[in-house]
Amino acid sequence: MSKKVDSPLKWFVLDCGGFESLDYTTAEMLKDLHHQLTSKNFKLVIITSIPQLRDKLDCLDLTEIIGEETFILAPVKRLKPSNPKLI
């Protein structure tokens, strides 16, 4: 992510469906990824079907940093954004 890219893409979607847990190291990596993407005008969007992941993001202060509206709790079959603010 060293170059500035003009792209019609606006989202970087991270499917966290396979995450069983988040630790401090993962939280720091996600914060860094968020800052890198923001500097390039991308939005980090986190999708998961695991409700407990949101609780862990809250505990690690990631929800506040990344933005509550960028977290999508999606059933396995549904991956459309439920929040029009993302568009």
Give me the pLDDT at residue 37, please.
93
Give me the pLDDT at residue 9, please.
76
Is residue 84 packed enough to be buried (19+ CB in 10 Å), middle (13-18) or exposed (0-12)?
exposed
pLDDT band at 70 (very low <50, low <70, confident <90, very high): confident
Strand order in the sheet with 43-48: 11-15, 43-48, 71-73
Give me the pLDDT at residue 38, please.
92
What is the number of domains present in the chain? 1
Residue 7 has pLDDT above 70, yes or no: no
Cβ(18)–Cβ(53) below 8 Å: no
25 occurs within a structural domain: yes
Segment 17-63, tens digit of pLDDT: 788 778 889 889 999 999 999 999 999 998 887 888 888 888 888 88
Residue 67 is part of a domain; what is its CATH number?
A: 3.30.750.24
Backbone angles phi, psi at 57, to 5 degrees: -60, -40
5 occurs within a structural domain: no
- Is the pTM here over 0.85, yes or no? no
Host domain of residue 49: 11-77
